[in-house]
Structure 1
Amino acid sequence: MHRSRISVAVFALGVTCAAGAQAQSLETQAAAGTAAPTESTVINLINLLVKQGVLTKASANSLVAQAQAEAAQAKAASNSRPAPSGAAIVNAPTQPGDVAVPYVPQVVRDQIRDQVKQEVVAQAKAENWAQPNTFPEWVSRIKIDGDVRVRDEFHFYSPRNATGQTNFAAINANGPFDFNPNTNNTLPPTLNTTQNRNNLERYRARLGVTATLSEEFTAGIQLASGNDNGPVSTTSTAGGGFAKKSIWLNKVYIAYQPTAWLNITAGRFDNPFFSSDLLFSNDLEMDGLAANFRHALPADPDVTLFGTLGVFPIQYTADTFPSNSLSKGSTDTKWMFGGQVGAEWKINTQNRVKGAIAYYDFQNMRGTLSSPCALYLGQTSCSTDNEAPAFMQGGNTLIALRNIVQNPNLAPGLTPDPQLFGLAFNYRLFDAKLQWDTVVADRVKLRLDGEYVRNLAYDENKAFSAATLPVNNFDSNSANVTRSDFRSGPNGYMAKATIGEPDPKTKGQWNFTIAYKYLQPDATLDAFNDPDFHLGGTNARGYILGAAYAVARDTWLSARYLSAKEVYGPPVSIDVLQLELNARF
């Protein structure tokens, strides 16, 4: 803005100083125009400088008066002297309608130049916008971004829901629970399945900094809110006696782009795959290393190929495990290896199709029964305790991890049975996703999304090959599960339609969405997908309705209604309503 002011001032000064030299040209233009000719080009130019804010009104009046006086003196002096023989009168009219432009004396031009210079410099110093190197060079390479969301949330449970559903995630998070009713008469942690939760005030805040280090390297960090360090949500719940809320390190990465079509990122960063919250929550950040490529076909630039390769550590074995043993456990890191290839085709200005297939291999995720564990001799852990998932939501089939040795000094059935739980299956996922963007009636955008996932490692025989029976996250008593009772599955899919602007940014933009999800218990890991649909995890099916409207730039209202129930097992129907105000910068 300040540079444009300087340009206007310099431009006006240059034109003013050149007025005398261009007088004859101005006369000809005035004769050819339809508007009334001006009385004084100098006066018009000075008035223009006043309008632009370069000269004050008082300074302009002084210059106009001086210019008129000097022009009158010059004209009087010219009339008092006879013109030399054959000499032409300066600025004399040659045709009807021509206007004589008075000569602009050099002193007037010098005064205008000095006055403009003084005004511009004074304003530049006062507003501090014309001093070079005011900020260090690195400031121009820093970008700050963020977003804020305020939400009112409601959870509605069907009165017909089953009660007493064991919360296995809470057991693993808080330590083993003794399931022997002869030694522990308390109930295990259970899920709420019947009592509604209204007006849950929630909010999310994220603030990130991205630094351009060179043409090839960038680095970034992001801080985010969150109730805990769980991977799928950065939402905090109000309350707690107005206590301050936690801030977590949500991103930290370095990205290297050696060419225009390849980008390599290491650290903790956004999900690099083309996917939906059927598999990965929208808030999920991934730890590891990923390489993304994107390149248009030379023969057809409307077709772009893209792909991603990545390796991500999910859970490490603690260096000190078992803590009270001289013999430590071997490395048993849980990994995710991911690969995806796809293409995007810009059919025309109104139609674009994007599709991809992916393979996600989760290594060392399946739990195994421990070696005989004699807790009665003072052991505080068993050999496979570290195979309990670090985070779960619900839905995956589980097995008990501890092979507890009976205390021979006690009567049969009186040995405590404190258990942890691990996954009954491995997860090797095949995923296919398709997205079509089009325009309806040449005015309304329409986006159609579809995704299908299958766990290629699903095998019921492996689940029942362990010494303990498998349990499901919505089963209350593992002792009652038989092979004929067991119900699970490896498949899941999602279909979604969005009418309007998919991502409202400008005031007045809007959208409506409708989606349907179906996710069998072992189609994917329950730890990483959408935490809102059925309140997170797998073994869920149902629909989602949504709407959004931008009330200002980068500020929008939204509403979602998620209705879901179980695929298999005891009835658990959960509806979620979310009303939000969002802003980003």
Structure 2
Amino acid sequence: MSMDTARGRRSVMGEGGRLRRTRVCFAVLGALGMTLAGGAHAQSLETQAAAGTAPPTESTVINLINLLVKQGVLTKASASGLIAQAQAEAAQAKAASASAPRAAAAVVNAPTQPGDVAVPYVPQVVRDQIRDQVKQEVVAQAKAENWAQPNTFPDWVSRITINGDVRVRDEGEYFSPRNVTGLTNFAAINSGTPYDVNPNTNTSVPPQLNTTQDRNEASVRARLGVTAVISDQLSTGVQLASGDTDGPASTTTLLGNDFGRQNIWLNQAWFKYQPLGWLNVTAGRFDNPFFSSDLLYSRDLEFDGIATNFRHLLPGNDSVTLFGTAGVFPIQYSSDSFVGENADSSSSNTKWMLGAQLGAEWKIDEQNKLKGAIAYYDFMNLKGELSAPCALYLGATSCSTDDDAPASMQKGNTLIALRNIAQNPNLPAGDTPEPQLFGLAYNYRLFDAKLEWDTKVTDLFKLRLDGEYVRNLAYNTNTAFSAASTPVNNYNNASSSSTVTQADYKSGANGFLFKVTLGEPDTLEKGQWNFSVTYKYLEPDAVLDAFTDPDFNLGGTNAKGYIIGAQYAVARNAWLSARYLSAREVYGPPLSIDVLQLELDAHF
């Protein structure tokens, strides 16, 4: 650094603190000093540095100052002052050069403050090192702050993010030889043609569940989403997903369809409004907003409706965070065609879910965190009712309570026949066909409690303990058997439902889950791993079977058993996993199903 440089540095730093003291400012001003030091053309570097006669290049100084203004480092007022000062110093330098002897080696601007150092000469190799270092730092910051190539992309690009995931799975399904056969697939009946349960008019068997044939299947899951930030408070998103059907519980697509193309569905479409930093409102179709496990809801389940979430530190305690969710979610509407044919049908057939949850997260110390919540979910108007007398023989195409048949089902919930079919007087007694649909025997008002504890066994091993309990408060066998239609269970044939008595019938309203996870719960970084063991118990009418995990017992309720899993991250946001799920019935005829899953997942 020459003494001209030192003088320039003091003059710039003397702008009353108006320059921003950033690394970029120092870098450019350092380059300016180098330019001032090497501005003379007729003298050697040593002579110019000693004599202090090197005049600054005015155009270069002005250009650099203008560049700093353009990048927002200097204000226009500060730049004007610097330009005027540079021009004045240039004039002084020319005058001094004309009057001073060329061989003089006077020191200009000697140190005036403790710590200031006058450097009459900087070797070329040092100047090169300084220049290269400054260049690297400026370029790095320019790229990080996106001003190296201004106006390269339109503004909306920076407000759009793309995310998604891909999973490839091999699954083996193994059925016990002790399993019962001939279990009716009520979901297939409700989604297809009503099944004639009169053995005098129909000798064919109803759709049945596979309970005996082992199989191995390859499948994929793919999801692709786009999120857009509209403003500081408003954002929106859309996600597409694979899936064999539009059912709510799974987005898995089986391979082996003669190499045919697979279905893509609208999986999410939502707006999120955040009026406060701790409060947001989401509307549309979106991820499960509640703190819960797959005891109640499949991990692929999306919610339709509107939900409000809050998360806020407990006043006066920065180690406890309160959180909660409340929402309204439509499940099923009556179709216009059904209402048109059944004008006297109750308008209450629209099915809803109201949900509310309140919880707290306590950071006990650096190694322990406890999170818990209680919730209440009220599924409204889901219970089926026996229809008014329905004269199908006169040409009616539906009965007054057909709309009570659930649009989505798996297996496990107790059901009732919905149609009260009038007998044809022109036929012998018992010879009138009775094509039936089936609805739920109970309402579902669920109380749920969940607790999660994260700790460390040692400095190397994390441990997570999960527990959850659910009970259907609306479960009452007396109420079910007081109805005009006798309840049937998914483990009884429709044709034999009339023989079921309350003494023979068994169901239940409770469910619980315990899970132990050793290792990193979310394997997002390469080399992370975990090992988990889960025990799950779910009685037939504890929750709605339509929304449960489709893998454990191949979906539905009335199942108990364990799950053993392991996961290893092979790269950032990519992991291999293996799970073994073993389940059997809680009540009813024997049904044991084991499932082995090997997967490769990647998120982006």
What band does the TM-score fall into relative to the shorter chain? Answer: 0.7 to 0.9
For residue 405 of structure 1, the aligned residue among 408, 416, 422 is 422
SS at match of 1:338: strand
Q: Name the residue aligned to 1:187.
A: 205
Amino acid in the other structure paired with 1:523: A
CA contact (8 A) 1:322 1:329 kept: no
**Which residues of 2 match residues 436-447 of structure 1 at below 5 A?**
436-447=453-464
The separation in 1 between residues aligned to 2:36 and 2:531, in whole angstroms, is 61
1:520 aligns with 2:520: no
Distance 1:23 1:435 in 2: 73
2 CA distance for matches of 1:88 and 1:137?
A: 55
- Does the CA-based 8 Å contact 1:178-1:416 persist in structure 2? yes
**Pairing partner for 2:577 from 558, 565, 571:** 558
Is 2:159–2:229's contact at 8 Å kept on the other side of the alignment?
yes
Give the Cα–Cα distance (whole angstroms) in 2 for the partners of residues 153 and 267 of structure 1: 33
Normalized against structure 1, the TM-score is what?
A: 0.81
Classify 1:164/1:133 alpha carbon distance in 2 versus 1 (closer, same or farther; 3 Å).
same
> Contact 1:151 / 1:580 at 8 angstroms: preserved in 2?
yes
Partner of 1:52: none
Q: Which residue number in structure 1 is paired with residue 256 of structure 2?
A: 239
What do the CA deviations read for 1:89-130 (whole angstroms, capped 9, x no partner)? 99xxxxxxxx9965899xxx9xx99xx99xx99xx9xxx984
Contact persistence 2:179–2:591 (CA under 8 A) = yes
CA distance 1:324–1:456, change in 2 (3 Å): closer
Shift of 1:465: 1.3
Cα distance in 2 for residues equivalent to 1:527 and 1:503: 27
Q: Residue 157 in 1 paired to residue 175 in 2?
A: yes
> Does 2:408 match 1:391?
yes
CA distance, structure 1, for counterparts of residue 353 and residue 342 of structure 2: 30
Q: Give the structure 2 partner of residue 379 of structure 1.
A: 396
Aligned to 1:492: 511
In the alignment, is residue 457 of structure 1 matched against residue 469 of structure 2? no
* Mapping 1:137-176, distance limit 5 Å: 137-176=155-194
> For the residues of structure 1 that align with 2:540 and 2:385, how far apart are their CA atoms?
19
Counterparts of 2:539 and 2:183, CA distance in 1: 18
What's the counterpart of residue 253 of structure 1?
Answer: 270
Instruction: Judge conservation of contact 1:540–1:567 (CA < 8 Å) in 2.
Output: yes
Moved more, 326-335 or 497-506: 326-335
Correspondence for 2:53: none
- Amino acid in structure 2 at the alignment position of 1:318: S
Instruction: Pick closer, same or farther for the CA change 1:406–1:431 going to 2, 3 Å.
Output: same
Asked whether the equivalents of residues 316 and 333 of structure 1 are also in contact (C-alpha less than 8 Å), the reply is yes
CA distance 1:223–1:352, shift in 2 (3 Å): same
Matching residue's letter, 1:401: L
Match of 1:431 in 2: 448
Tell me which amino acid in the other structure corresponds to 2:223: R
Partner of 2:79: none
Alignment partner, residue 295 of structure 1 = 312
Alpha carbons 2:163, 2:226 under 8 Å: kept: yes
**Contact map agreement 2:342 2:399 (CA 8 A) in 1:** no
- Cα gap change, 1:322/1:378 in structure 2, threshold over 3 Å: closer, same or farther? farther
Rounded Cα–Cα distance in structure 2 between residues aligned with 1:546 and 1:251: 29
**1:220 paired to 2:237:** yes
Following TM superposition, by how much is the alpha carbon of 1:277 offset from its aligned partner in structure 2, in angstroms?
Answer: 0.5
Q: Shift of residue 147 of structure 1?
A: 0.5
Give the aligned partner of residue 567 of structure 1: 586
**3-state SS in 2 of match to 1:527:** helix
Question: Are residues 17 and 254 of structure 1, via their aligned partners in 2, closer, same or farther at CA, if it must alter by over 3 Å?
Answer: same
* In 1, Cα distance between equivalents of 2:557 and 2:30: 70
Amino acid of the structure 2 residue aligned with 1:151: R
Q: Does the 8 Å contact 1:516/1:544 carry over to 2?
A: yes
**What aligned pairs does 1:259-274 form with structure 2 within 5 A after superposition?**
259-274=276-291
| Residue 472 in structure 1 maps to residue 486 in structure 2 | no
For residues 351-400 of structure 1, give each alpha carbon's deviation from its aligned partner in whole angstroms, at most 9, with x where no partner exists: 00000000001100100000000100010100000000010011000000
The 1:18/1:346 distance shift into structure 2, 3 A limit, reads farther
Quick one: structure 1 residues 206 and 349, their matched pair in 2 at CA, closer, same or farther if it must change by over 3 Å? same
| Cα deviation, residue 529, structure 1 | 1.1
Q: Equivalent residue for 1:285? A: 302
Q: Distance in 2 between matches of 1:320 and 1:216?
A: 41
Identity across matched positions, percent: 66
Q: Shift of the alpha carbon at 1:215?
A: 1.1
Alpha-carbon spacing, 1:136–1:163, altered in 2? closer, same or farther (3 Å): same
> What's the secondary structure of 2:300's corresponding residue?
coil
SS at match of 2:512: strand
Shift of 1:433: 0.2
Which 4+ residue blocks in structure 1 deviate beyond 4 angstroms?
A: 4-12, 18-24, 81-84, 87-90, 99-105, 322-329
Please list every run of 5 or more consecutive structure 1 residues that lacks an aligned counterpart in the other structure: 28-80, 91-98
Aligned partner (choices 301, 311, 318) of residue 335 of structure 2: 318
2:150 aligned partner, one-letter code:
P
Q: What is the CA-CA distance between 1:463 and the residue it aligns to?
A: 1.0
- Which of 189, 192, 196 is equivalent to 1:178? 196
The alpha-carbon deviation at position 448 of structure 1 amounts to: 0.3
Give deviations 1:536-575, integer Å, cap 9, x for gaps: 1100000000000000111110011100000000000001
Alignment partner, residue 507 of structure 1: 526
Q: Which residue of 1 aligns with 2:598?
A: 579
SS at match of 1:511: strand
Q: Distance in 2 between matches of 1:103 and 1:364?
A: 86
| Match 1:135 to one of 153, 158, 169 | 153
Separation in structure 2 between the aligned mates of residue 299 and residue 129 of structure 1, nearest angstrom: 43
Give the 3 Å change call, closer, same or farther, for CA 466–248 of structure 1 in structure 2: same
The one of 396, 420, 437 equivalent to 2:437 is: 420
With over 3 angstroms needed to count, the CA separation of the structure-2 counterparts of 1:539 and 1:8, relative to structure 1, is farther
CA distance in 2, matches of 1:352, 1:145: 29
Aligned pairs for 1:12-31 (under 5 A) are 13-14=31-32, 16-17=34-35
Q: Give the direction of change, closer, same or farther, for the CA distance of 1:11–1:250 in structure 2 (3 Å limit).
A: farther
* Match in the other structure for 1:364: 381
User: What is the CA–CA distance in structure 2 between the aligned matches of 1:522 and 1:23, rounded to whole Å?
Assistant: 94
Superimposed CA distance per residue, residues 201-241 of structure 1 (whole angstroms, 9 cap, x where no aligned partner) = 10000011111111111111100000000001111000111
Secondary structure of the 2:190 match is helix
CA distance, structure 1, for counterparts of residue 170 and residue 25 of structure 2? 51
Root-mean-square deviation over aligned CA pairs: 3.2
Gaps (5+ residues) in structure 2? Answer: 1-21, 40-44, 51-100, 109-117
Separation (CA, whole Å) in 1 of partners of 2:332 and 2:46: 83
Match of 2:73 in 1: none
Q: Which secondary structure state, in structure 2, belongs to the residue aligned with residue 204 of structure 1?
A: strand
**Counterpart in the other structure of 1:543:** 562
Partner of 1:207: 224
Cα distance in structure 1, aligned partners of 2:346 and 2:356:
30
Corresponding letter in the other structure for 2:509? P
